[in-house]
Amino acid sequence: MSEKRRLVLESGEIFEGYGFGAEGDKVLELVFNTSMVGYQEILSDPSYTDQAVVMTYPLIGNYGINHEDFETDFPSIGAMIVREYNDIPSNFRADATLGGTMAKYGVAGVYGVDTRAITRIIRDKGSMKCLITSKEAPKEEYLEIINKTTIPNDAVSRVSCKAKYDFENQDEQCPHVVAIDCGMKMNIPRSLYRKDIRVTVVPWNTTAEEIEKLNPDGVFISNGPGDPMDVPEVIETVKALRGRYPIFGICLGHQILSLAYGARTYKLKFGHRGGNHPVKDLLTDKIEITSQNHSYAVDRESVKGTDLEITHLNLLDDTVEGVRCVKDYAFSVQYHPESAPGPEDSGYLFDRFVVNMREFKKEGQKNA
């Protein structure tokens, strides 16, 4: 049996279980994810930086880890909290265990706790800080540690690439997209690449002038961790680029695009994290089943008076899931069209981006 490990919530509850993955005490933001599959994608998604993720599905680790499926080379998630952990995977593609991989990258784990009870607390009281520790101490001492610790707000700069690079080799005649990496999942450039798009990935703090020198046909703003207001540099870059190139944003990129047009964002009580969130496309009246992972949303009322219009709504809580500016060929969605935990309903958005780039180019030629 593994060593005992405690999960202490900022609201005072203490759950005692067992440790797996990396050792060491950590103070993190506690959130939950309702996906039934995809723990490796969650483990390797940079958007979970500094977060302890409670997995509501009761059995985790049973199909192991395959390094071909990673969303990033260096996972930055804080911890995983699970009901039952399986250390003997039964999948012919597995080349490592979940616990071994977590230990390699410094990710803590707790298993043997009541994940349903923890999830209900988060739903009732909202996302909060938590402490993961193996040390025995009075509750007051645990809470003092939590209260004295501030979750860093520099997550994007830590998980973004450090230098520009081209994703794969491709025909230079293909449309060229510059992707601003705010903590991008690797399946995003893969999805663009599959649409015969040449992708150049640049760090989060790349300026509009530097992007212009790359002569793109379009600009993409990626997902990433934290509050979009923590990256004013990216917001200013998008402000400078809007109308000059077609723009497509996903998740954090959606929030950044909205802020660049004058809308506001706010933090959700417990966020959206799962693989089956229903979203209505107001342009087609179709319902998409989507994959989501975010703590912040665009304020619906604040979109009024901007050049944006709302294109998608979440059917669970009526939050904004998509916006567009027709005249600037800019659009964004809050969910993840590159992620397919089952349904592939949202793949059309990459096609829409390709169409926008073609139409923008034709319009430019017409006005030349």
Q: Catalytic residue, from 130, 182, 251, 325: name it.
A: 251
Alpha helices in the chain (DSSP H): 39-43, 98-104, 115-125, 139-148, 155-159, 187-194, 208-213, 232-241, 252-260, 348-367
**Nearest-angstrom CA–CA distance, 42 and 70:** 9
The token duo for 64 is 């192991």
67 catalytic, yes or no?
A: no
Q: Are 146 and 27 in contact (CB under 8 A)?
A: yes
Closest CA to 223 of 35, 46, 33: 46
Q: Catalytic residue, from 29, 41, 321, 338: name it.
A: 338
130 catalytic, yes or no?
A: no
Closest CA to 287 of 346, 348, 347, 349: 346
277 catalytic, yes or no?
A: no
User: 212 burial class (0-12, 13-18, 19+ CB within 10 angstroms)?
Assistant: middle
**Nearest-angstrom CA–CA distance, 188 and 200:** 12
Closest CA to 234 of 193, 184, 192: 184
Task: Give me the active site residues, please.
Answer: 251, 336, 338
